[in-house]
Structure formats: C-alpha cells, structure tokens
Chain A
Amino acid sequence: MSASQLVGAETAKDLDEPGRGTSWLRYVAMKAGGSLFSLVMVVLLGFFAFRILPGDPVRSLADGRQVTAEQMDILRKQYGLDQPVIAQFWRYLTDLFRGNLGDSYTYNRPVMELILDRLGPTLLLTGTAAALSVVLGLWLGQRTAWRRGSMFDKAHTGIALTLWSVPTFWLGLLMLLIFGGTLHWFPTGGMVTAGSTATGLAYVWDVARHLTLPMLTMVAVVYAQYLMVMRASLLEEMSADYLVTARAKGLREDQVRRKHAVPNALLPTVTLIFLTLGGLIGGAVTVETVFSWPGLGYLTFQALSAPDFPLLQGTFVVFSSIVIIMNFFADILYRVLDPRLRTA
C-alpha cells in the first residue's frame, strides 16, 4: 500500500508537465479520456480476472449440504454458468450498460443493492478517518518541517513512521483489547448497539461511540503519509527566494510560514490526498473486519470465498471507479490550485 501511494505522490508532481500551456478544455478532455480508458480496462478485467480464480461457485454453495447433481445443474443454468464464457461476458456487458451489476449467488439479491447498503458505513468510517488524518498530518507536517531537526520533529516523524509500519489488524486488535475488552471504554465492535432501537441524537451518539476505535486505528496508520509529504514539500519551499523577500518585508516568521510557504507546499499534498482517498476505501477492509464494521470490506471477503462472480465484479468495478474518479479529481484540482497553471 505504502509503495503505490508514494509512487502516486511522484507522478502527482509530474502532472504539470503535459498540462502546462494547454487549454483547459483540452486538459480536461485528455484526463477524462485517460480515466475512461482505465474504466473500460476495469470493466474488462473485472470479468476475466475473476474467472481465473479457482473454485466452482455452485459446488461451494453446495458445500457440506445435501445437494444432488441435478440441482447443481439447475443452479448453473440459473446463474448462466452453463453458457460459454463469451456469452456470459456479453450478458455482463449489456447488463452493465443498463446499470445492472447482476444478482449475487450467495445473497440472492441485486449486487447494486448489496453494495449501496454497505457503502454508507464504509464512507462514514473512511471519510472521518481521512479527514482527521489529513488535518493531523498536514498540521504536524508543516510544524515539523518548520522546526526541522528539533525534538518535536524527530518525535513526531518517529511516531508517525512507527504507526505507519505497524500492521493494521494488529494495531486494531490491540486497541480493541485495551480500550474495548479491558478498560470497557468503547464497544468491541459493530456500528450500533445490537437490538437497539435508538433514533435521532441517541443513534448518532451510539454510532460515534462505535466509530471511535476503528477510526482512530485508521488514522494512526495513515496520517504519516500526509505528514511526510507536507513536511517534504514545505522543506523544499523553505529555501526559496520568495521567503527571503517575505522576511525582508518585515513579516513575522509565523506569517511567512502560513501565508507564503505553506500555500505553495500544499499543492503536491492536496493532489496526494485525492489520490489516497480512493485507496483508503479499499484499505478499510482490515479495519472493518477487526471491528466488525458493517461495510464493503466483509462483503468482498464473502464474495471471494464462493467465488460469487457478480458480487466480485460489482465490488471490483465500484472500488476501481472510486479510485479512478478520485484520481481524475486530483488532476483537475491540481490545475485549479496551481496559479501558475491557471494564468498560463
């Protein structure tokens, strides 16, 4: 995860090369075209990649139960698995164009419905965790850069990198054991108290209590990347001539940092934020499993074990689309934010 995201940061920096000097329309069209191409690849890959997986979905559904060969044939026919792969692919494509992701074998319900049911909790968890880690990471990033080499810098980069290297499930289980099991401060799992009929504010409070541990686990693991990128880009700016000018104008150190250095250093960081947002949703799988969070992660796991082709294709297309769209936004945002590109 870390490697790909750091690579993402690199490419983000190169983005201005093709963008410079071209017209807005051409830039957006180019980026949109690229995203569209990626989407088409995802749709193709989503079908064929999962067919290579081992396992016969019908046999897994029959696993350990009294099912005759005739019934398995009925199921195969029902799922269209008796058709040639090309025919199945055509059906998948035509359905997809109608916005239909098919029906899950395991759940017997439309895949779209299953995903939408679980998208909310996942977005809530990743959304709050992302917002918090961005705020924390950027704030600590600029502080540490400004005081490079100080105890503050060493301590914070040290802590952040340690947490970044810790396996998510291990940290999650540890948090669960300490704050849930031993200290009884927080519930040990789920999103709401089971069987509770709370509504309104009581419900919000209940969700907030359940959200705390998984969210803090996610924040602890991911905020380091924002800290490090912010720190690195601010360090780059710190030797720039315009800061000397700013200081010469008589601005206070705090103002030099906030008004001149940080806005420039934010550019690569904002792009990185959007690039990582999509990935975070996929990365939530582990946290969701540890804290029994009713999100998309567990659904994907369940889909893989069958293998439940329509559900796998559906979650794959949705996850990938989120990443692609986020990357597209990052491209656009980069141009919006960088005044040099805008005035060109």
Chain B
Amino acid sequence: MAFHETTEKLTPHSGAKGKPRRRLAAAVLAVSLAMAPLAVAPAANAATETPGTGTILKLALTGDIDSLNPFKAILASSTSILGLEYQSLVAYGPKNNEEIPGMADKWETSPDGKVWTFHMPKDRKWSDGEPITAKDAEWTFKAIQTNDALKQANGGLLESVASVQATDDETLILTLNEPQAPNPGTQLPIMPAHIWSKVPDPATFTNEKDSVGSGPFVISNYDKTSGVTLKANPNYWQGKAKIAGITYVPYKNTDAAVQALKTGEIDIVSSLTPAQYNALKNVDGITTNAGAGRRYQAIGINPGTQTHDGTPMGDGNPALHDLKVRQAIVMAIDNKTLLEKVMQGLGQPATGEVPAAYPLYHWDTKDLPLKYNVTAANALLDEAGYAKGSDGIRVDKQGAPLKLRLMGRNTDPTHQQMADYIKPWLKEIGIDVSTVMKSSAQVNDDSTVGNFDLYFTGWGMGPDPDFQLSINTCASRPNADGTGATSENNFCDPAYDAIYKAQHVELDQTKRSALVSQAQEMIHKSAVNDVMYYANSLEAYRSDKFAPFTTQPELGGVITSQNGPWSFYYATPMADVSSTNATSGGFNAAFVVVPLVIVLLAGGGFVLYRRRRTTSDERE
C-alpha cells in the first residue's frame, strides 16, 4: 500500500512525457532482445537432461575435492569417489567389514607372517578392455616406494613392505620387513600400469577425464562447477552396475543439500545433523538411515604429556598425573545422558576405541570398569587424599583448589553442548571446570604438545584396528616441537606396547580379536581417553526413486562412506518411477526474474548513457 501512495506522488513530477516514452520503448526492445535466445533455451535444456540411458544416482558432494589422482588425494570426498573406481587386492565386504576378494581372488601368508602371496585371476579387464595383471599391482607398489612425490596419499600403507614382485601375470609376492597380521593387500588402490607408466609425471596427472579403473564405476569427468560424473564400468568383474552412473553434485552446506533432496535435485545426502535428520524423517518419498558410525567421541585427559624420549612437556594440571583423579573424572561423566541429550539418542554407547560397527575388534563388554558412578568417583578422590574445601571444591596436593580446563572446537556445536553437561557433573566430585572453545587448528596444536587438561577428541576408523592401536604406543609420542610421530593421547605403557606387538603378528583371528579387546581395556583403565559414544552417520535418500540401499554392516550400517563400493554398486532404481525432474515442472520463476534483471540492468545502462551524453552536451 505504500507503493500506491507513492505512485500518486510520482505523477506530478514525471512531466516530460516524450522522453520516458522513448526510454520505455528502448527498454522493451532490450527485453525482447534478451528474451529471444532464452525462449528457445528450455527446449535445448530438456534434451540434455538425460545423458545416455538408465538412471543416474545423484549425491551431494558436501566436502571438497583436493585431487582425483589416487597418489595425491587425501580429503574424504575424493578418496570415497576413488574407492568406486580403484580396487585393492583385498576388499572389505558389505556384510560385516570382513576381508573378501578384491582384485586378488585368493591369498596366503607364510607361517611367520612375513611373505604374502596374492593370486590374481587372469580373465579380468580394466575399464578400457586391457587385461588386469599382477604387473599392475607391482607397478603401483613400486611407483610409491621409489618416488617420494607419490607417497602423499598412501605412503604410510607401504612402510612395512620390504619388496614386491610379480612372479608372473597372476602372482604377486609381498615380502614384509617384519611379520604382521593386518593384510597388506587392503586399502592401497591398484592402478592401471599401462596408463600411469606412460604419464610424464604421475604426481601431477589430474586423472579428471575418461579415467581408467577396475571398480564398478569410473570417472568420466570432473568440473569444479558441475561436479564429478562417473559411469558404470562394463568390465567390472562382478558385472555391470544396475545404474548407469553417479553424479556428485557440489553443495557447500548440508542445509542446501537437504533442500535439494526435497526437490529431487539429489538422491542421497549424508552427514546430517540430528535436527536435519529428524526433520526429514516424515517427508514423503524420503527414507532416513542412522547407520552405525565409524568414529568414536572421547574426552582426552592429559596424563602428563611427554616427548618420545620421556621429557615432560605442556601445561597440563599435575593433579592429572594421578591415575585415581583421571579415573574419577571418567566415572563422573554420564555418557548415556550425553548420547541422549546431545546426540538425541542417535548413536551407540561406547566401550573402547573400536566402534561397534566393527564387531570383530570391538571390545564388547556390558560391565565397564570405569562406568558412571558418582559415589565411587567421590570415594576414589577421598581415598587419594583430595579433601573437599568449604566451597565443595577439592584441594590438590599443593593446597590449591582443583581447577581444570576443558577445551573443545568452536567448529563443532556438540562440544559446547557436552561441556555444559560435564561442568556441573565434575563439580559434583569437587572439580571446578572452565571451558574454552578454540579453532580446530589451535586444538590440534595444543593437544599435540600437551597444553590442555581435558579436551574433546575423536577418531574415524577403518576395519583394521592396527593403526589406531599403534598410536597409543610409547614410540608414537611426538617431538618437543610437535613434529614427529602422532599419538592418540600421549599414552605410554610398556605392558601395552607388548600387547600391541602381540596382536600385530597374531595370525589367528580369535586370538588377535581378544588381544585387541585387551589393549582397549588397558587404555580405558588408564583413563587417558574416555570414549563416550559412537555417533551414528545420519543419511537420507529418495526412496521413491531407489530401492533400499545395501548397508555396511548389513544390519544397521551406513550407505555412504562405506569401506567399499557396495551401496552404490548394488543400487537399484525403482522400476516404475520415471526420472521426473522436480524443477522442470510447474511455474518457473526464472522466466520472470532473469529477464527482469536484464531489463533493470539494460535500463540502468541506458539512463546512465543518456545522462552522460546530455551533461556533456550541456558543457559544450
């Protein structure tokens, strides 16, 4: 209504009738010129919407692509895409993350666990039709071993490999520096030697177009603006996938990706927050999935950080050197409530580092030694000689009040939420906690060199626990400047190191599983890393377009970020659903807004141009 009044007031001023009319005519001309090409555009657009035949699965690409070169790619989104194109010698199955044939159909270990022989079947082909042989695997291993520039992504996987040899096209022999139980054929993507050995510099090869691989899908194109497209590999040894391809659509925030799922622009979205997950629960045509997570959430407790040679460093509170104080802290934290309140119940209660999603190595106990028990925690502190002062805060051995700092990341809102619960809980056992949220990089720096008392931490994990256990050995502690090895939480116990070594070489699965559980129990009892819960991976997909996806593990597992290509390889489009494009139907506001903008710009330009001319006329 404000506009109504203004038009009345406008009229007396717009006196010069001739000129506005000319301007209007020019504007109309500009519009029609601008509209002319656009009017024919939609028809052309419709033709390009179905490239080839068959259904394309569209995923939200919420992370960034650093590189699609398997020697270089580090970021999770890149490696998960490359996991669809390149196989390892040994794969992890959809059922339970168990080891299953990948490029090799069988393998054996020498009795001492030092020599691993892989057999590669001879009838398999790369996506371009060239045969896959053991020479490809040999080339890949050797390329990384002999060229530092190619070590960036997977160099760590080859540390234990002394030599590699393809004795013929079907046999690959890996000789290790020392015996080991973890299969050295998992994880490392094997690349086609006939392509990569001819590339002038494999380290700078982008591998972004019509790439050749052995997995169920191969990259056909990557463009920063339109995303990554993959097409089904007809030569994949288990048969061609039911879908024609996959497109990763770049979305830089999950809120937008959720909207895109609703409009049908994408078919799957992952990394949802509990709020987004719950909002999508009852939407027609969308099914949500809370898969067992591969990540633990913990509180690190500074036991007195030391360098790898045992020199103390950092500014952790000395009271935490006392095992009983650390244990009391673990017992005062109610993990169940955190899981219920902060994660809205979307997760599993934790025991040790290995999540329940990996049942082979998960420490499955109903009776945690340091389970939630405030009375016992208080008793433990009394017994250790930390008397409560008049204000209810305990006094440390030097007579000062027991005050601890709790550090979290300002990039993760759950850290502040958890801190708000933990602060009063620790007050109940007489510990005064101050919380501080910092940038991720600052938390990394501070935690590495021990500048903290308590901090929120967590690790995502692959199916084999060896690496996670290895970063709890004494040798994993860093240098004084924070360089050197990586430690989970500066734990060091020679007894633990012995158990780590024992499981590292134990070829018997049952015995190794027991040792891994034992190792986790030791870390738990030492109270340096209080594992609180395993958060679920929250995902949602268009169930009106796709049949339920294969999850990993089969029961209660995840769809995206699997250890293997299974969910997408087995993806089945709903037969009766034609791929309707939600955006193409109905009124398209772009037809109005885009030309309107052009008119405004053209009009503005025109007016400015006229103004410039008239004023210069006047000057002269």
Residue positions of A touching B, CB distance < 8 A: 53-56, 58-76, 78, 106-109, 117-118, 121, 128, 131-132, 134-136, 138-139, 146-147, 150-152, 154-155, 173, 176-177, 179-181, 183-198, 200-202, 204-206, 208-209, 212, 215-216, 252-255, 258-259, 262-263, 288-294, 298, 302, 305, 307, 339
* Residue pair B441, A55 in contact (C-beta under 8 Å): yes
Q: B129 at the A/B interface (Cβ < 8 Å)?
A: no
Which listed segment binds A: B118-126, B371-379, B519-527, B594-602? B594-602
- Chain B contacts with A in 33-79, Cβ cutoff 8 A: 37-38, 40-42, 44-45, 48-49, 51, 56, 58, 64, 66-67, 69, 72, 74-75
- In the complex with contacts A108-B72, A194-B226, A68-B590 CB distance below 8 A: no
Return the chain B residue nearest A211 by Cβ.
Answer: B594
- Expressed in whole angstroms, the minimum distance between the Cβ of B508 and any Cβ of chain A is 24
* Residue pair A108, B2 in contact (C-beta under 8 Å): no
CA distance A139 to B608 in the complex (A): 10
Q: Given the complex, which residues of B lie within 8 Å of A202, measured CB to CB? A: 41, 44-45, 48
- Chain B contacts with A in 449-506, Cβ cutoff 8 A: 459-460, 467, 482-486
CA distance A292 to B72 in the complex (A): 25
* Residue pair A192, B225 in contact (C-beta under 8 Å): yes
Q: B369 at the A/B interface (Cβ < 8 Å)?
A: no
Q: Given the complex, which residues of B lie within 8 Å of A69, measured CB to CB? A: 483-486
Q: B167 at the A/B interface (Cβ < 8 Å)?
A: no
Which listed segment binds A: B89-97, B232-240, B250-258, B284-292? B250-258
- In the complex with contacts A121-B225, A205-B38, A305-B441, A186-B156 CB distance below 8 A: no
- Chain B contacts with A in 129-165, Cβ cutoff 8 A: 148-149, 151-152, 155-157, 159
Q: B439 at the A/B interface (Cβ < 8 Å)?
A: yes
Q: Given the complex, which residues of B lie within 8 Å of A209, measured CB to CB? A: 590, 594
Q: B112 at the A/B interface (Cβ < 8 Å)?
A: no
CA distance A136 to B604 in the complex (A): 8
CA distance A181 to B283 in the complex (A): 13
- Expressed in whole angstroms, the minimum distance between the Cβ of B18 and any Cβ of chain A is 12
Return the chain A residue nearest B266 by Cβ.
Answer: A194
Pick from A76, A194, A212, A254: contact of B250, CB below 8 A.
A194
Pick from A55, A78, A179, A263: contact of B444, CB below 8 A.
A55
Which listed segment binds A: B9-17, B327-335, B555-563? B9-17
Bitwise interface map of B from 219 to 242 toward A, beta carbon under 8 Å scored 1, else 0: 000001111010000000000000
Chain B contact-residue range equals 35 or more
- In the complex with contacts A181-B259, A195-B227, A204-B37, A254-B441 CB distance below 8 A: no
CA distance A225 to B72 in the complex (A): 46
Pick from A109, A118, A121, A259: contact of B615, CB below 8 A.
A259
- Expressed in whole angstroms, the minimum distance between the Cβ of A177 and any Cβ of chain B is 6
Pick from B13, B262, B585: contact of A181, CB below 8 A.
B262
- Expressed in whole angstroms, the minimum distance between the Cβ of B33 and any Cβ of chain A is 13
Q: Given the complex, which residues of B lie within 8 Å of A151, measured CB to CB? A: 2, 5-6, 9
Q: Given the complex, which residues of A lie within 8 Å of B252, measured CB to CB? A: 189, 288-290, 292-293, 298
CA distance A293 to B459 in the complex (A): 31
- In the complex with contacts A135-B604, A184-B583, A212-B590, A176-B256 CB distance below 8 A: yes
* Residue pair B263, A60 in contact (C-beta under 8 Å): no
Q: Given the complex, which residues of B lie within 8 Å of A136, measured CB to CB? A: 600, 604
- In the complex with contacts A59-B444, A108-B66, A176-B259, A152-B248 CB distance below 8 A: no
* Residue pair A290, B260 in contact (C-beta under 8 Å): no
- Expressed in whole angstroms, the minimum distance between the Cβ of B414 and any Cβ of chain A is 18
* Residue pair A196, B226 in contact (C-beta under 8 Å): yes
CA distance A96 to B224 in the complex (A): 26
Q: Given the complex, which residues of B lie within 8 Å of A132, measured CB to CB? A: 597, 600-601
* Residue pair A179, B253 in contact (C-beta under 8 Å): no
- In the complex with contacts A184-B263, A188-B263, A206-B45, A53-B603 CB distance below 8 A: no
Q: Could you list some 28 contacts between A and B, CB below 8 A?
A: A53-B441, A54-B442, A55-B442, A59-B486, A62-B486, A69-B484, A132-B601, A138-B604, A146-B13, A151-B6, A177-B259, A181-B258, A181-B259, A184-B263, A188-B265, A192-B225, A194-B227, A195-B58, A195-B227, A201-B44, A202-B44, A212-B590, A254-B13, A258-B614, A262-B611, A290-B253, A294-B224, A294-B225
Pick from A64, A205, A206, A262: contact of B460, CB below 8 A.
A64
- In the complex with contacts A150-B9, A195-B247, A190-B259 CB distance below 8 A: no
- Expressed in whole angstroms, the minimum distance between the Cβ of A214 and any Cβ of chain B is 11
Q: B190 at the A/B interface (Cβ < 8 Å)?
A: no
Of all A-B residue pairs in the complex, the 10 with the closest CB atoms, nearest first, are: A55-B441, A135-B604, A181-B259, A185-B589, A152-B6, A205-B41, A194-B249, A202-B44, A195-B247, A66-B156
CA distance A221 to B603 in the complex (A): 21
